Chain A
């Protein structure tokens, strides 16, 4: 109980009235924040497109970009929930490394018979990831040990186990091709390719690789379906809001937004289709991103996580079981770290002791660049994904430009700091 307090300053109706027109402005600025991030990503991409003389948007490079960064994005989805819930997880890189090592040992070294099948191994690995998340989450949720400390311990522990499993400094591989497809595979073209421009045939009667234009039609069809679904659901939500008499964003804004979004998506789809189609890992990522957007925006459990991060005591007193929710958030993080580990191992084709080393920082940076608050309660899935891509494009672009790895770190650090300063400045201004 507080001391007898002086009568609180009366913030009367004048203030409320003043806030009247602010709603329109605030709706615009929150949208600007989200669009701003996407615009920033596009600007960064165009910048590197220019400085790398057009290499960045080359179909093969786009595929590379996705395959290199997918594990960061996948783990960022889990990290977003962790950070929104008001915690942090430093162990994800080590857990990913450990799971990669476990998967390699199961598939290559240990005599497990049919259990060394890549699918079985992957499922076992995801379950182990869930158990790791549960073990860490248990101490955080039920014993109130700061997540920073628990997961710092986890970071040391699982990196150690990873290295021990692989027997010191050695790497274990090669991994089966069917497993590697998770990272480096492309979806099969069940419809069949469409050749628009036949490849050039040289004098020796051989086709020149990369010439001509053949489209991966399954990719095109999937892309069209996705874009149409995006437009349809956007339109339906809008109609529903209007039917209930609630203000929706202005129609022209909606049209422009939908058209620009669709055009960008179709452009990327076309680029993928003209190479080898949609990377498997991009599909996995797409499904996961949609799932997490739905969970955070539409489901009660998502809402509860935001409430817990915004004010844990108030959430608790509203009947939310904050302990169990915390545990679930960390189990989810464990599963996604495990998936990240599998993706890394599949891309490298082998398990190495340093797999995922330091990636927790990239993952956390992606979430913060995406606008999440370190205090919890604020952050969007799309933000984290775009944040992850911003980091990825900068890595990729600077590598192509030949920027030294040391300086890449400096630039990434500055971008992280700049993004957060921008956020804080915006918030104080509002």
Chain B
């Protein structure tokens, strides 16, 4: 007879202006593997943060009942104390410390602050045996691969007497072999009676190990499927089943000749030289066309765009880029800009803006020659350019002298867009142009994109939000694990089709 180990009831979590979770219910039974699936941004990670105490009790509504007791976690420490351990997608290991040091970090066997290394290492050995990792406890984390690091994280969780293990996208950065090994390990834990929650969007994996699947969409629980009902089709329909309304400005595409063509583009990881991140990608974009690149996180879309844009990412880049049929030299960012290619980053704070400088200086940064002659900046010209783009893109700020660090996300995004519009590109690559900005600002960004396309620019939009791609693009490439796995006209496309292309691409590789 199974009993319920965890019950989350009517969880509602609100961020200023956004309801991230509304009345989510989750019930996990002892000894099962419970998968949670949903699109990016559906609320999976938020739910897990509520569960693990990252968002402390009181900042959300609803009840958490664990092993029959209602819990009010004030922080991760509380949840770990009673045996709920979460392993995040980004591993929280210290690279220059050893496996043993990492496993017992903050939890060392010590008397009066003096660490008993023998005890630590002996226990580490035992834990490593459990997870099937054959490494010396003294090995530094940086010297083992991502797959093994994941196992160290799990061993660390086991060291805390875990009752409920939560894995957030554990296989996102693992190779196929490591992923299989990890899933086998989960099944082994299950045989030993441990309960786990697996967050994943790799449906073949869910299919393989999960006893139950809960689908989350737009911050709501859609349904919980028992083992016998789990099928990819069923899950996909459940994941994306929402309608498109007029959240997108109308547009009449006027598509012309091919402007940019990429052939056989391959890129290797900058650090792990043997890992091929982009595999023979070929695509093209036409004048006046908005082309989307769909895919899940980690599919390699950003890496593709950045490697294209002045080789800002990766090593051993091979392939050919043609601009209007002529080979194009994109070996540095300045050459890319000269050739009128622009890339608007997905991470505006890290890669897009100088946050300690004001709007005016940020807008002109990529095209200083446009406001200067012989290296001397014309202050008045710069001023009028900045004011001009402030109006054009509707940046809401008191003046162009406002620091970009003080702007809201949407306005920051408009500053980055302005910067690249002033560089007067012919091809514009927009990477997650609406990430983390509110609905109103999103519509404004879509309007700008539509206007640019009408002006005859060739636009590539990378987005993890499928409705957005369906709403604003003319053609969609689907990318997965560094490959193009599908291409479809936006009019023929649907979220199901895209998701299917992704899943099939993965399935193909697995077999």
Nearest A residue to B18 via CB reads A7
B352 touches A314 (CB 8 A): yes
A311 to B407 Cα, complex, angstroms: 17
In the bound complex, residues from chain B placing their C-beta under 8 Å from that of A27 are 401
> Shortest beta-carbon distance, B47 to chain A, in Å?
10
> Shortest beta-carbon distance, B299 to chain A, in Å?
9
> Shortest beta-carbon distance, A181 to chain B, in Å?
33
In the bound complex, residues from chain A placing their C-beta under 8 Å from that of B406 are 19
B325 at the interface (CB under 8 A from A): no
B17 touches A300 (CB 8 A): no
A7 touches B419 (CB 8 A): no
A6 to B90 Cα, complex, angstroms: 15
Which residue of B16, B20, B361, B383 is within 8 Å of A306 (Cβ)?
A: B361
> Shortest beta-carbon distance, A51 to chain B, in Å?
39
Which of B93-101, B314-322, B331-339 is the interface stretch? B331-339
B396 touches A16 (CB 8 A): yes
A319 at the interface (CB under 8 A from B): yes
8 A Cβ contacts from A285-337 to B? 298-301, 303-304, 306-307, 310-311, 313-321
A244 touches B90 (CB 8 A): no
A307 touches B365 (CB 8 A): yes
B396 touches A13 (CB 8 A): yes
Which residue of A6, A16, A23 is within 8 Å of B401 (Cβ)?
A: A23
A9 touches B396 (CB 8 A): no
B375 touches A300 (CB 8 A): yes
> Shortest beta-carbon distance, A380 to chain B, in Å?
13
A318 touches B376 (CB 8 A): no
Total chain A interface residues with beta-carbon distance under 8 A: 49
B361 touches A307 (CB 8 A): yes
B438 at the interface (CB under 8 A from A): yes
B40 at the interface (CB under 8 A from A): yes
> Shortest beta-carbon distance, A216 to chain B, in Å?
35
A316 to B18 Cα, complex, angstroms: 34
B44 touches A4 (CB 8 A): yes
In the bound complex, residues from chain A placing their C-beta under 8 Å from that of B20 are 6-7
Q: A1-B297, A3-B89, A299-B377 are in contact. Are A16 and B354 (CB under 8 A)?
A: no
Which of B145-153, B343-351, B446-454 is the interface stretch? B343-351
B168 touches A3 (CB 8 A): yes
A169 at the interface (CB under 8 A from B): no
Q: A16-B411, A306-B361, A321-B332 are in contact. Are A10 and B17 (CB under 8 A)?
A: yes
> Shortest beta-carbon distance, A247 to chain B, in Å?
8
Q: A1-B297, A23-B398 are in contact. Are A317 and B309 (CB under 8 A)?
A: yes
A377 to B403 Cα, complex, angstroms: 13
> Shortest beta-carbon distance, A228 to chain B, in Å?
22
Which residue of A19, A237, A298, A307 is within 8 Å of B398 (Cβ)?
A: A19
Total chain B interface residues with beta-carbon distance under 8 A: 70
A404 at the interface (CB under 8 A from B): no
B408 at the interface (CB under 8 A from A): yes
B254 at the interface (CB under 8 A from A): no
A8 touches B350 (CB 8 A): no
A8 touches B15 (CB 8 A): yes
In the bound complex, residues from chain B placing their C-beta under 8 Å from that of A9 are 15-18
A300 touches B377 (CB 8 A): yes
In the bound complex, residues from chain A placing their C-beta under 8 Å from that of B338 are 319
Which residue of A6, A244, A311 is within 8 Å of B49 (Cβ)?
A: A6
In the bound complex, residues from chain B placing their C-beta under 8 Å from that of A15 are 408
Nearest B residue to A10 via CB reads B17
Among B334, B365, B369, B380, the most chain A Cβ lie within 10 Å of the Cβ of B365
A319 touches B366 (CB 8 A): yes
> Shortest beta-carbon distance, A303 to chain B, in Å?
6
In the bound complex, residues from chain A placing their C-beta under 8 Å from that of B158 are none
In the bound complex, residues from chain A placing their C-beta under 8 Å from that of B49 are 6
A19 touches B368 (CB 8 A): no
A240 to B419 Cα, complex, angstroms: 25
A4 touches B436 (CB 8 A): no
In the bound complex, residues from chain B placing their C-beta under 8 Å from that of A2 are 90
B402 touches A319 (CB 8 A): no
8 A Cβ contacts from B20-45 to A? 20, 40-45
A307 touches B345 (CB 8 A): no
> Shortest beta-carbon distance, B219 to chain A, in Å?
9
Among A2, A306, A311, the most chain B Cβ lie within 10 Å of the Cβ of A311
A378 to B398 Cα, complex, angstroms: 22
Which residue of A10, A244, A320 is within 8 Å of B18 (Cβ)?
A: A10
B356 touches A11 (CB 8 A): no
Which residue of A12, A315, A321 is within 8 Å of B408 (Cβ)?
A: A12
> Shortest beta-carbon distance, A14 to chain B, in Å?
10
B399 at the interface (CB under 8 A from A): yes
A8 touches B409 (CB 8 A): yes
Question: Besides the contacts A19-B398, A307-B365, what 9 more A-B pairs have beta carbons closer than 8 Å?
Answer: A3-B45, A4-B41, A5-B45, A8-B409, A15-B408, A301-B375, A303-B377, A310-B357, A317-B345
- Give me the 6 closest cross-chain CB pairs, A-B, nearest first: A10-B17, A310-B354, A8-B436, A11-B408, A319-B337, A319-B334
* Chain A residues near B (Cβ < 8 Å): 1-13, 15-16, 19-23, 26-27, 237, 240-241, 244, 246, 298-301, 303-304, 306-307, 310-311, 313-321, 373, 377-378
Question: 12 A-B pairs, CB-CB below 8 angstroms?
Answer: A1-B302, A4-B297, A5-B436, A7-B15, A244-B384, A300-B372, A301-B375, A314-B351, A319-B337, A320-B365, A373-B356, A377-B354
